[in-house]
């Protein structure tokens, strides 16, 4: 994963900005305020989506993982961590829509991928997800905040990353889907090793 924004992101910056205004988490509200307004069963169902995503990545089930994303879903790893406001005005470690995520999955599955000889493996360790806000900018969905530890291993070497996820989940045809996933790394502004999988 490059530390610079993907070239296709710059090419489509106008459309990305429009999409971000609709789907990006607002950061408003608080866990306690939101929790008072939501059914505990619904909050558990939302947290289960976050846990399922991590489990699928750990198992290397990338095609199944992609199905958790909405058609307009995006995956963002800011270069400045939690301090970064948007992915357009500043470079990002990753800012990818469903198409780019699919291309990355296909590369990981390709037996000729040099970076996957031997294959990378990962392990996510999650703290309890907490509801951040009740509804999104367009009046739908819920945002969850989840502190995490991420370990990626390849050829006997491990790297450890830590930070906080912000998942924006929306209901699509009776199922909860990821519309926006933001990964705020604790030390995002420091030199990082090549990240082969998905944090």
pLDDT at 7 over 50: no
31-87 pLDDT per residue, tens: 444 445 667 888 899 999 999 999 999 999 999 999 999 999 999 999 999 999 899
On average, the pLDDT of the chain sits at 83
150-188 pLDDT per residue, tens: 999 988 899 999 999 999 999 999 999 999 999 999 998
* Distance (Å, whole) CA 117 – CA 143: 37
CB atoms within 10 A of CB 174: 5
15-30 pLDDT per residue, tens: 444 445 444 554 444 4
Cβ atoms of residues 66 and 130 within 8 Å: no
User: Does 192 reside within a domain?
Assistant: no
Strands (E), the chain: 69-78, 92-97, 121-126, 130-133, 142-154, 157-172, 175-185
User: Does 70 reside within a domain?
Assistant: yes
102-144 pLDDT per residue, tens: 999 999 988 887 777 788 999 999 999 998 865 555 667 899 9
User: Does 196 reside within a domain?
Assistant: no
Q: For residue 35, what are the domain limits? A: 7-185
Task: Quote the number of domains for the chain.
Answer: 1
Report the CATH number at residue 169: 3.10.450.50
* Distance (Å, whole) CA 69 – CA 21: 18
Closest to 62 measured CA to CA, from 98, 92, 114:
98
Cβ atoms of residues 172 and 141 within 8 Å: no
- The first and second tokens of residue 182, run together, are 């933001």
């Amino acid at each position: 994963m490059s530390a610079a924004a993907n070239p296709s992101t710059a090419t489509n910056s106008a459309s990305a900005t429009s999409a971000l205004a609709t789907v990006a988490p607002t950061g408003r509200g608080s866990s306690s305020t939101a929790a008072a307004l939501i059914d505990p069963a619904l909050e558990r169902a939302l947290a289960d989506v976050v846990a399922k995503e991590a489990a699928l990545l750990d198992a290397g089930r990338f095609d199944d993982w992609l199905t958790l994303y909405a058609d307009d879903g995006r995956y963002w790893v800011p270069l400045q961590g939690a301090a970064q406001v948007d992915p357009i005005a500043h470079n990002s470690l990753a800012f990818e829509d469903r198409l780019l995520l699919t291309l990355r999955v296909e590369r990981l599955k390709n037996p000729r991928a040099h970076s996957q000889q031997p294959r990378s493996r990962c392990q996510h360790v999650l703290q309890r997800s907490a509801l951040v806000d009740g509804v999104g900018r367009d009046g739908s969905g819920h945002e969850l905040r989840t502190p995490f530890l991420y370990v990626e291993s390849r050829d006997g070497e491990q790297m450890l990353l830590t930070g906080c996820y912000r998942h924006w989940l929306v209901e699509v045809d009776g199922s909860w889907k990821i519309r926006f996933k933001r990964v705020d790394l604790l030390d995002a502004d420091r030199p990082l090793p090549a990240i082969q999988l998905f944090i």
